[in-house]
Amino acid sequence: MFWKPNPSSGIPIYLQLVDQVKHAIETGALRPDEQLPGIRKVAGDLVVNVNTVAKAYRELEHEGVIELRQGFGAFVAGNSAESGAQRKFLRALPAMRTAVNRIAQLGLDEQQMRRLFETELTRLRKGSQHD
């Protein structure tokens, strides 16, 4: 179900997994209340550290995308939370589209835009740390 994450991409593996799960939910590969594969299974299949998968699952739970049910495993959050995640995504889309269009008009190419985005993401991460 999941692609092998790229360890050298600069994006932490756990974040790549978080994105993959979210993407799987959006495309319908994972449905509300459906069980996610176990942490150890995912770790073994993708050959990544168990803690990394655990961290991804914790992050997803933190964002309300999945639920961790004690003794049973990880499940995609029920309807309300899932569509909540989807709604958030849909709401952010226009803001992103506007920004991308405006930056593209300045004549930046895709690589430059990506770097800009990373810079801002880092700034955001650093900023939230100093709280």
CA atoms of 110 and 88, how far apart (whole Å) = 25
| Binding characters for another protein, 31-70, by CB under 8 A (x = yes) | --------xx--xx--xxxxxx--x---------------
DSSP-derived secondary structure for 109-121:
-HHHHHHHHHHHH
Q: Under the criterion CB under 8 A, does residue 17 sit at the interface with another protein? A: no
What is the spatial distance between Cα 5 and Cα 33, in angstroms, rounded to a whole number? 25
* Alpha-carbon span 41 to 27, nearest angstrom: 22
Residue 10 contacts another protein per CB under 8 A: yes
Least distance to another protein, CB of residue 129, Å? 8
Q: Report how far residue 19's alpha carbon sits from residue 10's, in angstroms, rounded to the nearest whole number.
A: 14
| Closer Cβ to another protein, 20 or 52, answer by number | 52
Binding site for another protein (CB under 8 A): 7-14, 39-40, 43-44, 47-52, 55, 115, 118-119, 122-123, 125-126, 129
